[in-house]
Amino acid sequence: MLTVSRLSTTPIRGFALHHPQSVELSPHGVIDDRRFSMHTADGRLFDRTKLGTLVQLQAEFESVDGGECLTITFPGGETVSGAVELDSPTSLEFHNRAFTARRVIGPWADALSAWADRRLELYRSERLPHERDRNGVSILSEASVAELARQGNHGQPVDPRRFRMLIQVAGAERPHQEDGWLGDEVRIGDALVHVTRLDPRCVITTQDPDTGLRDFPTLHVLRDYRGLRDGNHLYFGVYAEVVEPGRIAVGDPIEVLGG
């Protein structure tokens, strides 16, 4: 039986993951998951492909008395916290997606710039109905991760968190079973999703999920046993879009309904 074994979210793209027991799926996925992102002065996304150790930073985002509060905790224990104020809307683009965002006004940009030793600005996506700044749902089975470990780590476990999937799946009968869900609708808890594409992997998957330091040749292993597809992509896991919003929780059953 397929079930949800772990959920992973983070308010700021590239930061340490949270593992809630349940989340609410909206048309954008979890509405505040990776809603904040850092960008250089010329608008380029700054993430763990540029600095793996970003994962050592913790972010907490919550609604308080009708407003929003953001707290960032740095590796040494220092915190920067305050009410979120937003600048006027602007357009950002990455991963071939254009979307509306607002620069976050407050102490966070200066603190992050000092820590990363380069000028950065923090933005929050508006997540308008007709825009997408990311794929709403990502799914990966534990069986696929176990096969990766068997192929490249002499059977020693590989931490699934390095793949930063929203939904980790237990109970798959074979590795990469989720690849066969392309085009299918899948019931997860109270929500229904449509699996749209395979997930192409990048250098972030080679990094330890706690330190951000490279510790496993994920991409080489995937290339050796799965090969390149569609020209130059290494796929691992799948993306989906939300068809029917709803709550999903650890332990919920997963049912593949077909296309």
pLDDT averaged over every residue in the chain: 95
The answer, yes or no, to whether residue 146 has pLDDT greater than 90, is yes
pLDDT band at 153 (very low <50, low <70, confident <90, very high): confident
* pLDDT value of residue 96: 84
Q: How far is 212 from 203, CA to CA, in rounded Å?
A: 11
pTM: 0.95
CA–CA separation, 25 and 67 (whole Å) = 22
Look at residue 154 in the predicted model and tell me its pLDDT: 80
Greatest CA span in the chain, whole angstroms? 53
Q: Is the pLDDT confidence value at 47 over 80? A: yes
Q: For the chain, how big is the Rg over CA atoms in Å?
A: 18
Mean pLDDT over 28-47 rounds to 94
Tell me, what's the pLDDT at 63?
83
Which residues in the chain are classed under CATH 2.40.33.20?
3-26+135-258
Residue 97 CA to its chain's centroid (Å): 16
Q: What is the mean pLDDT of residues 4-28?
A: 98
pLDDT at position 46 is 96
Picking from 51, 10, 63, 8, the residue whose alpha carbon sits closest to that of residue 33 is 10
Asked if residue 95 has pLDDT above 90, the reply is no
CA distance 74 to 16: 11
What phi-psi label fits residue 16: left (phi over 0), alpha (psi between -120 and 50 degrees) or beta? beta
Residues 164 and 151: their CA atoms lie apart, in Å, by 20
pLDDT digits (tens, 9 = 90+) for 209-226: 999 999 999 999 999 999
144 pLDDT above the threshold of 90? yes
| Dihedral angle computed from the Cα positions of residues 85, 99, 7 and 67, in that order, rounded to the nearest 10 degrees | 20
Q: What is the mean pLDDT of residues 121-148?
A: 95
| One-letter-per-residue 3-state SS of 209-247 | CCCCCECCCHHHHHHHHHCCECCCECEEEEEEEEEECEE
Fold classification of 3-26+135-258 (topology level): M1 Pyruvate Kinase; Domain 3 (2.40.33)
Of 94, 172, 168, the closest CA to residue 135 belongs to: 94
| Residues 201, 232: Cα–Cα separation, whole Å | 10
Judged against a pLDDT cut of 80, whether residue 259 lies above it is answered with: no
- Over residues 161-173, the pLDDT tens digits come to 999 999 999 999 9
